[in-house]
A and B are shown apart, each in its own frame.
Chain A
Amino acid sequence: MMHTGYIGTKEARSFLAIVLSAPIALTLPQDLALTAGRAAWLSTVVALLVALAAWGLFSRIAEMAPGYSVVQMAGVWWGAPGRWAVGLVLWGYFLLITALVTRAFVETVIGTILPRTPVHVVMLLFMVVTVYMAYYGLETLSRLSQLLSRVLLMGFLLLILMDLRWMDVRYLYPLLGPGLGQVVSVGVMKSSYFSEVLVLGLMLPGLRVARDARRVARSALLVSGVLMIVMVLGYTMSFPPPSGADNPFPFYQMGRLIYLGRFVQRLEAIFDFLWVLSAAVYMAGGLWASTQSLAQACDLPVYRPLVFAMAVLVYGIASLPADYVQTTELTNAYLRSWGWVMLVGMPAVLRLGATWGRRGRREG
């Protein structure tokens, strides 16, 4: 495997945090409002705890084979079949999620800013940018993320602050909303929003200090989790159920709500710019992850030739849903409801594999 460069802890953390937080600008608040009502923020807390626990398991595995990616680890423990299996599962997952999220972002752009522009034109322009970033790899992506992270964070906090006048804490009551059982089950289900943390499993060989992986993941999960909780809280207090569940573009609507008098209003264009930036990083990250997982599964020395083929696949799959409603239906009903199986299942399987693999080698 040829490494084009290493990335530092901060860069890796920024990249991962942006990738994990990007769904905030999509349907995350609305999806949670629909499934957990006014207790959506509690479900997000549960989801974060599940994600942290899953990563706790994962980091133990990373320590067993430092400097190896999860696909390479599978190869070490189970040979080529294991490498293929894990690589293809990750490839399929990242390919699907990137394609659906790409389509959702494109449809959001069309639904809010460019209603008459054909979907393929917007998607093509998005793809050009993401292919460029994915082609130049993790180093480019993570450094760009490091630059963008402060801007995005400031923008997000500004949005919440400017919408404070609409927020009413009384809309959070009754605190448990649909009931404790549903809050917890939705929390577990929606930990799927953190499943992209698996991208770190592919980044492990690129980390300058391999043992920092645990710290990178934990801080990225905490940052994105807190941002998600703040967003869901702010959204529930300004768009309480049932309004909150009916809003296809929650982040954009929050931007549109800003009204601080005659001169400070209509500021959503600033926030459009921010979420398009985070979308570009997310999509490029997804494209890079799917390409990397396939390259590692095939034990290829370089991944770059695959970027264009993957981009065509992403483009093709993203074109399959008929409209925005179907895209979000598919995303929320499958990927964001069952993604937790990947989040928890992948580390669990690898952990078992590591134990058996080691035992087998010892016995052998």
Chain B
Amino acid sequence: MRRWMVAFCAGALLMITGCWDRTELEEEGFVPSFAVDTGPAPGVFIYTFRIAVPQEVAGSSGGQNGGGAGGGGDETQKGSKAVSVMARSLGEAINLINSTVERRLNFVQCQYVLFGEGAARQGLSPHIQDLLRFRQFRRTVFLAVVRGKAADSFKENKPVLESSVTRYIEGLQKLKAFTGMVPVVQLHTFVRAMEGDSEDPFTSVLAINESVKEQDRRKNSQQQGANQETGKESESSGEKQRSDREFQTPAVTFEAGRMRRVGGNPEEFPGAAVFRGDRLVDVLSGEEARLLLALRGDLAHAFFTFRVPQGRFTLEVQQHEGRPRIVEGAARGKPVWQIDPPFDVDLVSAVGAFDTRTHQGLLELRRMAEQQFDAEAERLVAKLQKCGSDALGLGLYARRGFLTDAEWRAYGWRDRYEEIQVQVRSRFVIRRIGNQLVSSGAR
């Protein structure tokens, strides 16, 4: 018996020396991100995979080279190469790419997926189903919509500070908590909202600023010329001309792809793409995205600047209390809802004739902020209602009043959503006034 046991153990050891699922790192082509765009015909899509090149990732901190098959040699492509293919599904695209890339594509390290505006307007459901079922994808992968073609994001994205492809999107997530203008969303959150009947999904928007892209292109060509001819002098004069041109129009815009700026990354990311079900229905500006988060109770931190006849003041707001209180009522036979988002506020700037030395003065400041915020937030709600998207998740509040699913379905939330009159009654509680008691204009 003992001899048999020894023989059995020896045999068992042989069985566990390796396994069917071993993966050699040298045989895998890791894809940290990929993009989906519409193709030339319905049901055909362009898949662009960014494939990590580990040697270049390792050397990217010091090296300047990199280069991608998609042409470039840009900062973002340092450590990765972008390859596009036309296919009818993700699986088909992987097979096609693996007929030209020498290693097996592996998505276990995939951090984010971009969708072109066209694909998002057609409906993301088929692509989302691909992601949900394939075991290599996690529900924590980030999603974003790119204005225009998603593949352009890989070509034109040149982060100012971040050199790693995967850290770029994680950086954006941090910005969500800092500015509130980049409402980055993970696949799981998106799917819950998309599949449910009480809310609609939203996600962040990326866009290429054509003006900055052009500046960048000119700068590169001028740099080449300067190196050959006059050197630094022509470079600085070219930059001045660019900023003069760009800053002639006195409009401040928070729209992705239309911000007025010079230098930096041609890609910008303020704003939100809002959906109805799986279809993109509208793109919000950065300011509107911030309001959206605030009304949902997801605004971790932001700076709000208010302009009033007395001057302007900036508040640093935080939402510590979580979701706003929502009171459902009715007036003249129509449902009227009141949303009360609470904010903890630091006064960080007050330029003009403001009384910041007395409690009464601060209350006045608070009243002005609340008035402006409420008006803008109500405009946003009306905009969302018009496009039929419940990105605020009001349905999740509405369903609390029902006992069974049958009652909820009979209520017909979708039809009633657009009829609801929403009143916003924010609460800006100014807790700190910064390092100055008196504002400049009040002396």
Contacts and interface: CB of A to CB of B under 8 A. Distances in A.
Contacts of A173: 396, 399-400, 402
A305 to B, nearest CB: 13
Nearest to A170: B396
A116 B400 contact: no
Given A112-B135, A243-B192, A265-B140, A117 B19 contact: yes
A253 B407 CA distance: 31
A240 interface: yes
Interface in B181-228: 186, 188, 191-192, 195-196
A257 B188 contact: yes
A128 B15 CA distance: 13
B170 interface: yes
A168 interface: yes
A170 B191 contact: no
Contact of B407 (A112, A117, A121, A174): A174
Interface string A99-115: 00000000000011111
A259 B21 contact: no
Contacts of A353: none
B21 A114 contact: yes
Interface residues of A, number: 37
A256 B186 CA distance: 13
Contacts of B402: 173-174
Given A170-B399, A174-B399, A117 B191 contact: no
A117 B21 contact: yes
B408 interface: yes
Contact of A121 (B15, B139, B140, B196): B15
Given A116-B20, A117-B19, A240-B196, A174 B396 contact: no
A171 interface: yes
Contact of A179 (B139, B140, B404): B404
Interface in B395-414: 396-397, 399-400, 402-408
B19 A259 contact: no
Contacts of B405: 37-38, 174, 177-179
B12 interface: yes
A175 B139 CA distance: 26
A265 B142 CA distance: 14
Contacts of B186: 259
B158 interface: no
Nearest to B171: A262
A118 interface: yes
A128 B404 contact: no
A301 to B, nearest CB: 20
Contact of B20 (A114, A238, A239): A114
A270 B138 CA distance: 16
A199 B66 CA distance: 64
Nearest to B8: A128
A179 B402 CA distance: 11
A176 interface: yes
A338 interface: no
Interface in A163-186: 166, 168, 170-171, 173-180
Contacts of B195: 242-243
Contact of A111 (B12, B135, B138): B135
A128, A174, A262: which has the most chain B beta carbons within 10 Å?
Answer: A174
A255 to B, nearest CB: 10
Interface in A243-284: 243, 253, 256-257, 259, 262, 265-266
A125 B408 CA distance: 49
Most chain A beta carbons < 10 A, residue from B167, B402, B405: B405
Contacts of A114: 19-21
B140 A171 contact: no
Interface string A150-174: 0000000000000000101011011
B115 to A, nearest CB: 20
A174 B19 CA distance: 47
A239 B187 CA distance: 12
Interface in B309-343: none
A21 to B, nearest CB: 25
Interface of B: 12, 15-16, 19-21, 135, 138-140, 167, 170, 186, 188, 191-192, 195-196, 393, 396-397, 399-400, 402-408
Give 5 closest A-B pairs by Cβ, nearest first: A170-B396, A117-B20, A174-B402, A259-B140, A116-B20
25 contacts: A114-B19, A114-B20, A115-B135, A116-B21, A117-B19, A117-B21, A118-B20, A121-B20, A125-B15, A125-B16, A128-B12, A170-B396, A170-B400, A171-B192, A174-B402, A174-B405, A174-B407, A176-B403, A238-B188, A240-B196, A242-B196, A256-B139, A256-B140, A257-B140, A266-B138
Interface of A: 37-38, 111-118, 121, 125, 128, 166, 168, 170-171, 173-180, 238-240, 242-243, 253, 256-257, 259, 262, 265-266
Given A173-B400, A257-B188, 5 more contacts: A114-B19, A117-B19, A166-B188, A174-B404, A257-B140
